[in-house]
């Protein structure tokens, strides 16, 4: 599990393509390599990946074909920046909200508003996922725990503070980009429970 508080925005050093998967080599800061061992879970743009090799300041991750299809990891190129978070440990502060690292869908950036006073992103997702996105609710975006600032029929808006922009790759977003989306599990459970109860009572 993860908290959605990105710990570093790290450089993708190399991408090795093999049959059915890609191997990513990511350069990590010293504080994230301490205690990192093979088999550890690390979120890359919100995707829970297993470290398959650790060498000095480099960590290697195998990304299977299915994961490449369902997330934006397939679009990453050498020198791109990746949002990194080590897995949650006992006693860790939860500054965001609990996320699993299992991506539900991708959102397309439809608008970027960048002025001296604010940086806003408008994201569009498939209609069925909007059932779980609410004004002031939580959503995981490229591994970041963010609060929804506005909601329409098939899109939602995020208001990003400078600290988030400094620590993540969201400041690089442009119209047409795709971002990994993880729905808040508690919100999903509540919505689906209510829908089942209403359906059972004939209100669906």
The pLDDT value recorded for residue 6 is 96
Residue 15 has pLDDT above 80, yes or no: yes
Nearest to 44 by CA among 65, 26, 69, 18: 26
| First-last CA distance in the chain | 34
Q: What is the per-residue DSSP string for 94-131? A: -SS--B-S---EEEEEEEEEE-SS-EEEEEE--GGGGG
Residues 40/87, Cβ–Cβ less than 8 Å: yes
Both structure tokens of 165: 């922009």
Q: Where are the domains of the chain?
A: 8-86, 105-197
Class of domain 8-86: mainly beta
Q: What is d(CA 56, CA 44) in angstroms, rounded to the nearest whole number? A: 18
Displacement of CA 194 from its chain's centroid (Å): 27
Mean pLDDT score across all residues of the chain:
93
**105-197 shares the fold of 8-86:** yes
pLDDT, tens digit, 9 for 90 and up, residues 78-127:
999 999 999 977 666 666 678 899 999 999 999 999 988 789 999 999 99
Q: What is d(CA 149, CA 8) in angstroms, rounded to the nearest whole number? A: 24
Helices then strands (H, E): number in the chain?
4, 12
Residues 2/85, Cβ–Cβ less than 8 Å: yes
The pLDDT value recorded for residue 94 is 66
Residue 14 has pLDDT above 90, yes or no: yes
Give 180's pLDDT tier (boundaries 50, 70, 90): very high
The pLDDT value recorded for residue 102 is 95
Residue 192 has pLDDT above 90, yes or no: no
Q: Cβ–Cβ contacts within 10 Å for residue 133, how many?
A: 21
Residue 40 is inside which H or E element, if any?
none
Give 185's pLDDT tier (boundaries 50, 70, 90): confident
Architecture (CATH level 2) of domain 105-197? Beta Barrel (2.40)
The pTM is what?
0.92
Strand, coil or helix: what is 36?
A: coil
Both structure tokens of 79: 């020198």
């Amino acid at each position: 599990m993860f908290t959605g508080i990105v710990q570093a925005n790290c450089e993708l050093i190399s991408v090795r393509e093999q049959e059915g998967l890609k191997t990513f080599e990511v350069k990590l800061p010293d504080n994230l390599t301490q205690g990192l061992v093979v088999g550890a879970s690390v979120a890359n743009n919100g995707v829970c990946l297993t470290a398959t090799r650790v060498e000095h300041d480099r960590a290697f991750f195998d990304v299977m074909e299915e994961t490449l299809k369902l997330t934006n990891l397939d679009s990453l190129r050498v020198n791109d920046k990746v949002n990194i978070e080590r897995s949650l440990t006992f006693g860790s502060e939860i500054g965001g909200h609990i996320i699993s690292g299992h991506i539900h869908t991708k959102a397309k950036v439809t608008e970027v508003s960048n002025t001296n006073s604010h940086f806003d992103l408008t994201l569009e997702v498939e209609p069925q996922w909007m059932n779980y996105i609410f004004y002031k609710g939580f959503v995981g975006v490229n591994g970041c725990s963010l609060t929804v600032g506005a909601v329409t029929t098939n899109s939602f808006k995020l208001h990003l503070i400078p600290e988030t922009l400094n620590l993540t790759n969201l400041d690089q977003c442009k119209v047409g980009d795709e971002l990994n989306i993880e729905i808040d599990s508690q919100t999903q459970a509540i919505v689906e429970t209510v829908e089942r109860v209403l359906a059972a009572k004939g209100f669906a």
